[in-house]
């Protein structure tokens, strides 16, 4: 079956005041709930997650060391420090601060001065660092985000979606397991200044990160992850009127996600779940697999309603690379779409020869569809 690449889930079993929300299974990427998930939003301080991801990737490559020090420029001090009256680590103008401390401040207390200093120390300027953020976003599969500064300070040209923010959080958890525990630290004390984690959900309902954000225009949002129950979930809500409403709605979403579903193992890791047609490829089809194993999460007591299909956007054109996300496995209960699992190419498919391309072209011309 063919169709849109991002199916919309019907949401009869949960309601949120958030205009933008998503709940994702960390292991498989399956979507359990979404509302306005692909609408562009101002990310506010949740944009700092991308700054952290870029910096930690450079540490992993050896291009940056946690013990390196970065000087606090006048721009970082004036724009993000005490004079700005925003969230800050109160770093002194001209002082040098370790990368590790700048990252702790960025993650725990959302220090704008720390975040700007990181960007300047890595790339020379906020603008140059934003270029790194956008390049990295493309590399890790964020499809609807554009960053113009590292801190999330308001800019009409900066946007993301709650889906992209969830995918970014999932990337950080998966790729930086040794550093991820910093997100769950209750406070950060530096230079005699003690500041509590601005994510007040940390420590509740198994939540061990990640980041809050708010501006007058965007409202209040938060990205969290929890290990409560049988699996890790990543959730995002955004656009709420108050910080308390943000906290309450995320508690409700996490509680619903961790208590309302039963887990049914469906496909082992590497199992071919289905096939998709490739137009003009050396092979006419490509196998589809989950990112890892695929489990189905059904609302408790609804095992008898289960059915599913695979959708993807036509035409799929070669070359197709193994690991490309090209389809979704859609799980229905009584004609209601309750779960969407991303599917990936199981192998490479190169461009076909002239005979194959001509044959596929004739099929499309004659029937408007391709052979399965």
Whether 143 is catalytic is no
Number of Cβ within 10 Å of residue 191's Cβ equals 11
Whole-angstrom distance, CA of residue 291 vs CA of residue 205: 27
How many whole angstroms from its chain centre is CA 73? 31
Catalytic residue among 28, 48, 214, 225: 48
Catalytic residue among 110, 145, 225, 277: 110
Catalytic residue among 28, 45, 145, 284: 45
**CB of 286 within 8 A of CB of 310?**
no
**CB of 147 within 8 A of CB of 132?**
no
Give the alpha-carbon dihedral of 46, 147, 339, 256, to 10 degrees. 10
Contact partners, residue 301, CB within 8 Å, separation at least 6: none
Indicate the SS3 state at residue 306. strand
Whether 125 is catalytic is no
Contact partners, residue 288, CB within 8 Å, separation at least 6: 272, 273, 274, 275, 276, 310, 326, 327, 329, 343, 344, 345, 346
**CB of 225 within 8 A of CB of 207?**
yes
Whether 110 is catalytic is yes
β pairing state of 193-196 and 20-25: unpaired
β-bridge partners, 277: 285
List the catalytic residues. Answer: 45, 48, 110
């Amino acid at each position: 079956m063919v169709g849109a690449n991002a199916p919309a889930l019907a949401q009869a079993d949960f309601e949120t005041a958030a205009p933008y929300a998503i709940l994702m299974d960390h292991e498989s990427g399956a979507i359990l709930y979404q509302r306005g998930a692909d609408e562009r939003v101002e990310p506010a301080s949740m944009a700092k997650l991308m700054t952290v991801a870029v910096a930690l990737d450079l540490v992993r490559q050896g291009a940056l060391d946690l013990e390196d020090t970065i000087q606090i420029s006048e721009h970082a001090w004036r724009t993000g420090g005490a004079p700005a009256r925003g969230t800050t680590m109160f770093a002194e103008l001209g002082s040098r601060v370790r990368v590790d401390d700048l990252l702790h401040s960025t993650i725990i207390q959302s220090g704008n001065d720390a975040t700007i200093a990181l960007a300047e120390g890595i790339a020379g300027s906020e603008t140059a660092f934003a270029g790194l953020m956008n390049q990295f976003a493309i590399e890790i599969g964020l499809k609807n985000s554009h960053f113009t500064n590292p801190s999330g300070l308001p800019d009409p040209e900066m946007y993301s979606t709650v889906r992209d923010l969830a995918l970014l959080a999932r990337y950080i958890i998966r790729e930086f397991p040794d550093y991820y525990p910093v997100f769950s630290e209750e406070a950060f004390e530096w230079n005699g200044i003690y500041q509590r984690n601005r994510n007040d959900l940390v420590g509740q309902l198994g939540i061990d990160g990640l980041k809050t954000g708010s501006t007058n225009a965007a409202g209040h949002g938060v990205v969290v992850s929890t290990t409560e129950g049988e699996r890790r979930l990543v959730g995002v809500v955004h656009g709420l009127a108050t910080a308390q409403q943000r906290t309450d709605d995320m508690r409700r979403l996490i509680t619903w996600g961790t208590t309302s579903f039963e887990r049914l193992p469906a496909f082992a890791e590497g199992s071919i779940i289905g096939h998709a047609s490739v137009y003009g490829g050396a092979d006419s089809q490509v196998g589809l697999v989950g990112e890892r194993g695929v489990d189905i999460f059904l609302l408790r007591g609804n095992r008898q309603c289960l059915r599913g299909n695979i959708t993807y956007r036509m035409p799929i054109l070669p070359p197709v690379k193994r690991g490309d996300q090209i389809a979704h496995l859609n799980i229905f209960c009584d004609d209601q779409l309750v779960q969407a699992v991303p599917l990936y190419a199981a192998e490479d498919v190169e461009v076909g020869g002239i005979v194959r391309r001509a044959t596929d072209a004739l099929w499309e011309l004659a029937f408007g569809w391709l052979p399965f």
